[in-house]
Amino acid sequence: MESTSPAASPVLPSSAVTLRPRPSTSAPSALLPLARRLSLLLLAYAVPGLITSSQTYFYAQLKDPTYPFDRALLMHLPPWWYWALATPLVLALGRRFRLERGVWPRSLTVHVPAVIGLMLPHLLLMVFLNRAAGEKWFLDNSLGFILPLMLGKYGVTDVGIYGGILAVGSALEYHRRYREGELAQSQLETRLAHAQLDALRAQLHPHFLFNTLNAISVLVRKQDTAGSIRMLTGVSELLRMALNTTSRQQVPLHEDLDFLDRYLDIEQTRFQDRLQVVRAIDSATLGALVPSLILQPLVENAIKHGLGTRSGAGRVELRASREGARLVLEVLDDGPGLSPGWDTHGGCIGVANVRARLHQLYGDRHAFTLENRAEGGVRARLELPFQSASPEVSVS
């Protein structure tokens, strides 16, 4: 016993092409996202503004109990909101001029003038606000005297704020690029899996087609005109049904059984009264999703090794049932069984194809066994996750 458990658009001539201006987004609609982001930034920078305002207020209260809190807010909150307004510019510079290995010296030639250019208006704003609040030291001294002292006191803080904005922006950018890389890798893996599944399924079409054409040639040599016509009609129907499922890796079980019925019609024409097919299909399983054309290679294998090797009649049984969250499919025959030297890890094209497709679709969420039965013959058993294609499937 062996088990595996891994799961054209037309081109118009230039004379027919009409260029139309692209519809522009209205100004209010375009400004809404910017307004939302700016509101969030103002709210975020209000936190350190309130903290520094509170520090100044409580310190001033020790000297002057009449010192108002709104005076402290006037001096400290707008300077922090200045950095809220400057943040989008700093982030844009950070994206354009990255402080990364190999390029950071060139980027510094942009960031150093930028931080100085943002620092000077910030210091001037602070001087103006302190004078507006009536701070005596700022009123008694000239701007030329105040600015160098302010630069020494707040310059390092402003450089730290600028660098902090760059750091946060770089972290967000690296996270975005990482997620985009993950998405791209996932999409590539999905495309590869679909390509592999398409290639595996494409093996089946010529496989059963060549076998059927070979059977038709036997009937022609026997001058069995009616049988030949019936098989040709069946092949045409099989190809139509196969082509209808080329865009789907999984189909409801009842569709796969319909395809299998057409295939068995051909095989019963070929073997006439020698082939007996018994079905035990639970109606609750008809709407379950299964890999398209999954049963045909197993039935073909059962007929080939169970009936094709002997002159007497043979029996193939199809079973489908649900066991909890699992869909169980079985194909049984009453032939001579698997020979001791049969390579269960390779097998014929059909069995190998089934294994590969199940592994691609389900990974380790499936089981596939191929074993000799105690009463003679072979049992092929599939256990798949039960996935319903639709809420209800009518049984005809």
88-110 per-position pLDDT tens digit: 999 889 888 888 787 888 888 88
- Tell me the residue length of the chain: 396
pLDDT for the residue numbered 309: 67
> At a CB cut-off of 8 Å and minimum separation 6, what does 273 contact?
313
What 3-state DSSP class applies to 269?
A: helix
Report in angstroms the alpha-carbon separations of 5 from 135, 248, 363, 364: 79, 23, 7, 5
What 3-state DSSP class applies to 310?
A: coil
pLDDT for the residue numbered 28: 58
> Nearest-CA neighbor of 266 among 313, 298, 299?
299
At 188, the amino acid letter reads L
**What average pLDDT score do residues 345-362 get?**
74
pLDDT > 80? residue 269:
no
Tell me which architecture the domain covering 224-385 has in CATH: 2-Layer Sandwich (3.30)
Q: How many CA atoms does the CB half-sphere of 243 hold within 13 Å?
A: 7
What 3-state DSSP class applies to 276?
A: strand
Calpha distance 321→367 (Å, rounded): 15
At 82, which helix (H) or strand (E)?
A: helix 69-96
More confident residue, 245 or 51: 51
More confident residue, 140 or 13: 140
**What average pLDDT score do residues 318-328 get?**
95
Average pLDDT, the chain: 79
Give the other-Cβ count within 10 Å of 296's Cβ. 23
**What average pLDDT score do residues 222-239 get?**
75
Residue extents of the structural domains in the chain = 35-187, 224-385
> At a CB cut-off of 8 Å and minimum separation 6, what does 288 contact?
252, 253, 322, 327, 384, 386, 387, 388, 389
Q: Is residue 244 within 8 Å of 259, Cβ to Cβ?
A: no
Cα angle 122, 124, 126; round to 5: 70
27 burial type by CB count under 10 A (0-12 exposed, 13-18 middle, 19+ buried): exposed
Q: How does residue 379 score in pLDDT terms, banded at 50, 70 and 90?
A: very high
Calpha distance 358→4 (Å, rounded): 10
Q: Is residue 3 within 8 Å of 355, Cβ to Cβ?
A: no
> Which two three-digit tokens encode residue 395?
């049984």
Please give the model's pTM, rounded to 2 decimal places.
0.48
